[in-house]
Protein backbone atom coordinates (compact mmCIF):
# COMPACT_ATOMS: atom_id res chain seq x y z
CA UNK A 1 0.00 0.00 0.00
CA UNK A 2 1.31 3.44 -0.92
CA UNK A 3 1.09 6.02 1.87
CA UNK A 4 0.50 9.61 0.79
CA UNK A 5 2.83 12.14 2.43
CA UNK A 6 1.45 15.37 3.84
CA UNK A 7 2.71 18.74 2.60
CA UNK A 8 4.59 19.15 5.90
CA UNK A 9 6.30 15.77 5.44
CA UNK A 10 7.31 16.67 1.89
CA UNK A 11 8.62 20.06 3.03
CA UNK A 12 10.60 18.41 5.87
CA UNK A 13 12.13 15.89 3.45
CA UNK A 14 13.09 18.57 0.93
CA UNK A 15 14.75 20.64 3.68
CA UNK A 16 17.00 17.72 4.62
CA UNK A 17 18.58 17.80 1.13
CA UNK A 18 19.49 21.50 1.17
CA UNK A 19 23.20 21.92 1.86
CA UNK A 20 24.67 24.55 4.15
CA UNK A 21 25.03 27.91 2.39
CA UNK A 22 22.72 26.99 -0.50
CA UNK A 23 20.73 29.61 -2.38
CA UNK A 24 17.19 28.23 -2.60
CA UNK A 25 14.11 29.44 -4.48
CA UNK A 26 10.87 28.58 -2.67
CA UNK A 27 7.69 28.60 -4.75
CA UNK A 28 4.05 28.89 -3.70
CA UNK A 29 2.36 26.22 -1.58
CA UNK A 30 4.27 23.53 0.30
CA UNK A 31 7.67 24.96 -0.76
CA UNK A 32 6.94 27.96 1.48
CA UNK A 33 7.20 25.58 4.46
CA UNK A 34 10.66 24.23 3.58
CA UNK A 35 12.50 27.05 5.38
CA UNK A 36 10.75 26.09 8.64
CA UNK A 37 12.30 22.61 8.53
CA UNK A 38 15.98 23.49 8.06
CA UNK A 39 18.09 21.23 10.30
CA UNK A 40 19.62 23.04 13.31
CA UNK A 41 22.92 24.70 12.45
CA UNK A 42 22.33 24.56 8.70
CA UNK A 43 21.95 27.95 7.05
CA UNK A 44 20.49 28.59 3.60
CA UNK A 45 19.67 31.80 1.74
CA UNK A 46 16.03 31.70 0.65
CA UNK A 47 14.66 33.42 -2.44
CA UNK A 48 11.03 34.16 -3.35
CA UNK A 49 9.56 34.04 -6.84
CA UNK A 50 8.36 37.63 -6.47
CA UNK A 51 11.88 38.99 -5.91
CA UNK A 52 13.19 38.84 -2.35
CA UNK A 53 16.58 37.31 -1.60
CA UNK A 54 17.46 36.38 2.00
CA UNK A 55 14.10 36.48 3.73
CA UNK A 56 13.60 35.16 7.24
CA UNK A 57 10.98 33.71 9.55
CA UNK A 58 7.35 34.79 9.38
CA UNK A 59 6.73 37.73 11.73
CA UNK A 60 4.68 37.27 14.91
CA UNK A 61 0.91 37.66 14.49
CA UNK A 62 -0.04 41.32 14.56
CA UNK A 63 3.47 42.47 13.56
CA UNK A 64 3.20 41.70 9.84
CA UNK A 65 4.40 44.28 7.33
CA UNK A 66 2.16 43.56 4.34
CA UNK A 67 4.66 45.27 2.04
CA UNK A 68 6.97 42.30 2.79
CA UNK A 69 5.29 39.20 1.36
CA UNK A 70 6.39 36.11 -0.53
CA UNK A 71 4.83 34.95 -3.80
CA UNK A 72 2.08 33.17 -1.84
CA UNK A 73 1.14 36.48 -0.17
CA UNK A 74 2.43 35.35 3.23
CA UNK A 75 4.26 37.89 5.40
CA UNK A 76 8.03 37.44 5.73
CA UNK A 77 10.86 39.19 7.53
CA UNK A 78 14.20 40.23 6.08
CA UNK A 79 17.63 39.04 7.12
CA UNK A 80 20.69 41.32 6.99
CA UNK A 81 21.80 41.80 3.40
CA UNK A 82 18.37 41.06 1.92
CA UNK A 83 17.75 42.35 -1.60
CA UNK A 84 14.70 43.13 -3.76
CA UNK A 85 14.39 42.78 -7.53
CA UNK A 86 11.78 42.42 -10.28
CA UNK A 87 10.00 39.07 -10.48
CA UNK A 88 11.25 38.60 -14.05
CA UNK A 89 14.81 38.84 -12.73
CA UNK A 90 13.86 36.36 -10.01
CA UNK A 91 12.91 33.75 -12.61
CA UNK A 92 15.99 34.61 -14.68
CA UNK A 93 18.08 33.70 -11.63
CA UNK A 94 16.35 30.29 -11.51
CA UNK A 95 16.56 29.62 -15.27
CA UNK A 96 20.13 30.90 -15.47
CA UNK A 97 21.39 28.43 -12.89
CA UNK A 98 22.33 31.14 -10.39
CA UNK A 99 20.66 29.30 -7.50
CA UNK A 100 21.53 25.92 -6.04
CA UNK A 101 17.97 24.62 -5.66
CA UNK A 102 14.50 25.62 -6.87
CA UNK A 103 11.49 24.05 -5.15
CA UNK A 104 8.40 24.99 -7.12
CA UNK A 105 4.80 24.43 -6.02
- Active-site residue, selected from the candidate residues 49, 57, 63, 64: 49
Query: Is there a catalytic annotation at residue 49?
Result: yes
Global pTM exceeds 0.85: yes
% of residues, the chain, pLDDT over 90: 96
Interior CA angle at 64 toward 44 and 53, to 5°? 30
Q: Tens digits of per-residue pLDDT, 64-86?
A: 999 999 999 999 999 999 999 99
What pLDDT is attached to residue 73? 95
Q: Tens digits of per-residue pLDDT, 42-52?
A: 999 999 999 99
Structure confidence at residue 62 as a pLDDT band (50, 70, 90):
very high
Strand order in the sheet with 78-84: 78-84, 52-55, 45-48, 23-26, 101-103
Q: Specify whether domain 7-103 bears CATH 3.10.129.10.
A: no
Amino acid sequence: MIVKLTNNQIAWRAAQDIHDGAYVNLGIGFPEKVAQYQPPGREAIFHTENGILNFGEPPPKGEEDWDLINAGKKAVTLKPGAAFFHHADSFAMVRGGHLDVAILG
